[in-house]
Amino acid sequence: MSLNLCPIILFFFFFFFILTISRVGAIGINWGNTASHPLPPPKVVELLKSNNITKVKLFDADPLVLPALSGSNIGVTVGIPNTMLRSFNSSKKAAESWVHDNVTRYFSNGGSGVRIEFMLGVLADKPLLPVSVLWPFARYVAVGDEPFLQRYGEQFHPFVIGAATNIQAALIKANLEGKVRVVVPCSFDAFLSESNLPSKGHFRSDLNKTMIQLLTFLSKHGSPFFVTISPFVTIHQNKNISLAFSLFKETAHPHNDSHRTYKNSFDLSYDTLINALSIVGFPKIDIVVAQIGWPTDGATNATPSIAETFMKSLINHLHSKLGTPLRPQDPPIETYIFSLLDEDERSITTGNFERHWGVFTFDGQAKYQVDFGQGSKNLVNAQNVEYLPSKWCVVNNNRDLSNASARASEACYVADCTALSPGGSCFNISWPGNISYAFNSYYQQHDQRTDSCDFGGLGLITTVDPSVGNCRFSVELHTSQSDSLHRACYVQWTTLLTTILVCLLRFTL
């Protein structure tokens, strides 16, 4: 063999090796911005980069977020909100316009690729062969945000496949086919097993037809199946699942399904999905766990220490590449942790814990330590964060407090008081400390305006931090008025403009 061929052979060997290791056990994170005072996008990108997080999944296409990510060497999943599915289902032009504004422009404006370096082989602590792989800026477009969630009913079902098809056509027209793949994130309740046995897993009956159409679409275009797995919610809904089983504890009682043994909740849920996919004819489709995490407040068992145990065990399990009984040595090709930051305006329909999924607090401070698999032993906090002045609103103990609880309830109707929930970090603070917490939450959410600490004369502004133990009385982030207004109106305006575009197109055709 000619020596000149050796470099070429080595290149192809390492190239295919890289493809293998890059598709197995890759870990990213979800970045949501349903917050009254979100951390500025450039700060969040710095946070991602300082913690070596190379993949991020968004729930929309925020025009303040995408430019911050462009050129950051972070692979992005761009989301399309459920409210826009109807428009994209009915209009190819609307889909093309969205793809141009939120995907194509970032390929042509310096965001054409995400370069990830792999160092193969080590000798005397020095890499032998550095190899680069170029990922596109936007790796996936997520059509809808769990549009099959059971509590939504069937309101989005008729539009999902049409919207995905038109987005796919728009990507093809933009010469991005193969570079960016269309996916549809599916909720954890899209599949189930009444007996709690994976071998009996199936999709909900109302989803069967749509799910077959979706899987056919995904397979045709080489896209993976995006799904949420939620061991925390499962433990709340299923009395047969123990905390130890959810946390991958070796002492947990295993669950047996015929000749297969399950030692943790993740494998049990994952194989329930695998069986559901097999029943409808897609047993081998690639899977991406689009959301998985553990909250740290707002409910029993929602604490930073338990979340740390879960997260470390999950990541170790994924990196072991053991897979599951139905897919041995074949773990999900990617897993996205839910989520990066706490969000104080998330819906709490399913529980007060919904606002506390973050690995970091709302201001970018690590709640616990976990290694995302990039070699970082300790998480790095957000730097140079700008806060409002160090002032808090508390109850004035010199006033008649007979009406204080009613005033606190009014404050909590608007502000975030989920930490006061049973099991929450502030649940055990005594009265009237809990009243002060409610008052301060409202006061901070309203940018520390003097009139927002009135409460019929019961409020008092102080410069002494009233935090007690683990119960943190927060000071909100300083955000510009324009940013706050943008956040409040972004989804409504984009939906309205898309609807207007569709109407104009219909009128002119």
Which amino acids are annotated catalytic?
146
Q: Give 84's DSSP letter.
A: G
φ, ψ for residue 497, nearest 5 deg: -65, -40
Amino acid code (one letter) for 400? D
Residues 6+ apart with CB under 8 A from 401: 395, 432, 435, 458
Instruction: Tell me the DSSP string of 269-324.
Output: HHHHHHHHHHHTT-TT--EEEEEE----SSSTT--HHHHHHHHHHHHHHHHHT-B-
Could you give the 3-state DSSP secondary structure of residue 45?
helix
The first and second tokens of residue 102, run together, are 């939120």
- Biggest distance spanned by C-alpha atoms of the chain: 93
Cα angle: 227, vertex 359, 102; to 5 degrees: 55
Query: Would you say the C-alpha torsion 139, 145, 149, 155 has a positive or negative sign?
Result: negative
324-353 per-residue burial string, b: 16 or more CB within 10 A, e: under 16: bbbbeebbbebbbbbbbbbbbbbeeeebbb
SS3 call for 24: coil
Q: Fill in the DSSP letter of residue 103.
A: I
Tokens of 318: 């994924």
Contacts of 239 (CB under 8 A, 6+ apart): none
Q: How many CA atoms lie within 13 A of 314 on its CB side?
A: 30
CB-based contact 273:279 (threshold 8 Å)? no
Contact 51, 379 (CB under 8 A): yes
Rounded Cα gap, residues 165 and 85, in angstroms:
11
Tell me the pairing of strands 26-31 and 55-58.
parallel
Nearest to 467 by CA among 495, 441, 499, 485: 441
Residue 443 corresponds to which tokens in the numbers above?
């006061």
Q: Verify cis geometry, omega within 30 degrees of 0, for the bond prior to 304.
A: no
Distance CA 29, CA 90 (A): 32
